[in-house]
Structure 1
Amino acid sequence: MFDHHYALRTVWTGARGRGTVDYRSYGRDHVLSVEGKSDILGSADRPFRGDADRWNPEEMLLGALSQCHLLSYLYVCSDAGVVVTAYEDDAVGTMVQTGDGGGHFTGVILRPRVTVADESMRERALALHSDASAKCFIASSVNFPVEHEPTVLVVEAGVQQPA
């Protein structure tokens, strides 16, 4: 077993010279930084007085789940001899706000569209989403269901054929 450690810096940039005098006085803008990488401009979601042009934590969680599944899926496919030539995901998530101002995610659905190199790989490519889900560090760390609605396309003679 190996431990992996991650670090980032979050800097709030929304003080507006007054700070948190009241709920409307401050901005939700912030910057996420990791040494050697481009910054991510973050804010709250628009309903929570955030900047719609910046990433919010809910989108980043959804993105982390989608990215983790992609990377886990590519790993299990390469290990199983399934040649993936393209991958897209239109992920959706649902969060419920509670009466006390808090909230939580109730579920995420990943909708990966995978293209494989040969028809003989189609069934295995579909089945490997389960293995990828079990290996995904992020999905294994959340307390809500992460479901999958995959589609597999096949490239034959340069033409994609839907599953």
Structure 2
Amino acid sequence: MSTHIAEVIWRARPGDEFLAGRYSRSHELRFDGGAVVAGSPSPSVVPAPWSDAAGVDPEEMFVASLSSCHMLWFLDFARRAGVEIHAYHDLAEGVMAKNDEGRIAITRVALRPTIDSDADRATLEDLHHKAHEACFIANSVKCEVVVEPQTRSEGKEADHV
């Protein structure tokens, strides 16, 4: 298959008191294509000043990876089917709670893509189903992943598909 590399780099900063737990958790994420992203725990998990709300947290990256993977498959299946897609926007949401084993985990991710297309509802639903089945990331996680598509035809309000 293939291998994917991500570098995660953290360094203590002047004035940090690591052993006392008073240190910044901000870090840098580097990807093989050259992208560099500021990383941090969520301020809801680790409060400021030990986190940075401007950094991307692991929970956000998890949700974004599911959303991105679904979108890429959706677009590919639409292209193969000859379905024109004008725009794709997903407001994905992950819920962190205790799982069945009593551990804190992301237990559910809802993908809520809004699709701008002239295709009918049944066609879009079929494309979402195929995308969900093919998504490598969705196939790799144990939390519930649901797709709650929205659709918007040009000049019309979004509605549920």
State the TM-score, normalized to the length of structure 2.
Answer: 0.84
Paired with 2:33 and 2:138, the residues of 1 have a C-alpha distance of 27
The answer to which of 47-56 and 69-78 deviates more is 47-56
Paired with 1:96 and 1:161, the residues of 2 have a C-alpha distance of 33
Where do residues 23-42 of structure 1 align in structure 2 (5 Å cutoff)? Answer: 23=21, 25-42=22-39
Q: Is the 8 A contact 2:41 2:58 kept in 1?
A: yes
Matched, 1:5 2:3: yes
1:78 counterpart SS class: helix
Query: Which amino acid is 2:54 matched to?
Result: D
Structure 1 stretches of at least 4 aligned residues deviating more than 2 Å after TM superposition:
13-20, 159-163
Query: Which amino acid is 2:95 matched to?
Result: T
Matched, 1:124 2:123: yes
Where do residues 131-150 of structure 1 align in structure 2 (5 Å cutoff)? Answer: 131-150=130-149
Matched, 1:43 2:43: no
Q: 1:97 to 1:56 in 2, by over 3 A?
A: farther
Q: 1:26 to 1:139 in 2, by over 3 A?
A: same
Where do residues 44-123 of structure 1 align in structure 2 (5 Å cutoff)? Answer: 44-47=41-44, 48-49=46-47, 50-96=51-97, 103-116=104-117, 118-119=118-119, 121-123=120-122
Matched, 1:152 2:154: no
Query: Which amino acid is 2:106 matched to?
Result: F
Q: Is the 8 A contact 2:42 2:53 kept in 1?
A: yes
Paired with 1:43 and 1:162, the residues of 2 have a C-alpha distance of 34
The answer to which of 86-95 and 145-154 deviates more is 145-154
Matched, 1:22 2:20: yes
Paired with 1:19 and 1:45, the residues of 2 have a C-alpha distance of 20
Paired with 2:18 and 2:123, the residues of 1 have a C-alpha distance of 54
State the TM-score, normalized to the length of structure 1.
Answer: 0.83
Q: Is the 8 A contact 1:122 1:153 kept in 2?
A: no
Q: 1:19 to 1:32 in 2, by over 3 A?
A: farther
* Count of aligned pairs: 152
Give the Å deviation of 1:19: 5.4
Give the Å deviation of 1:138: 0.6
Q: Is the 8 A contact 1:91 1:108 kept in 2?
A: yes
Q: 1:114 to 1:29 in 2, by over 3 A?
A: same
Q: Percent identity?
A: 32
Give the Å deviation of 1:154: 2.3
Give deviations 1:51-94, integer Å, cap 9, x for gaps.
11111000010111111111010011111121111110011110
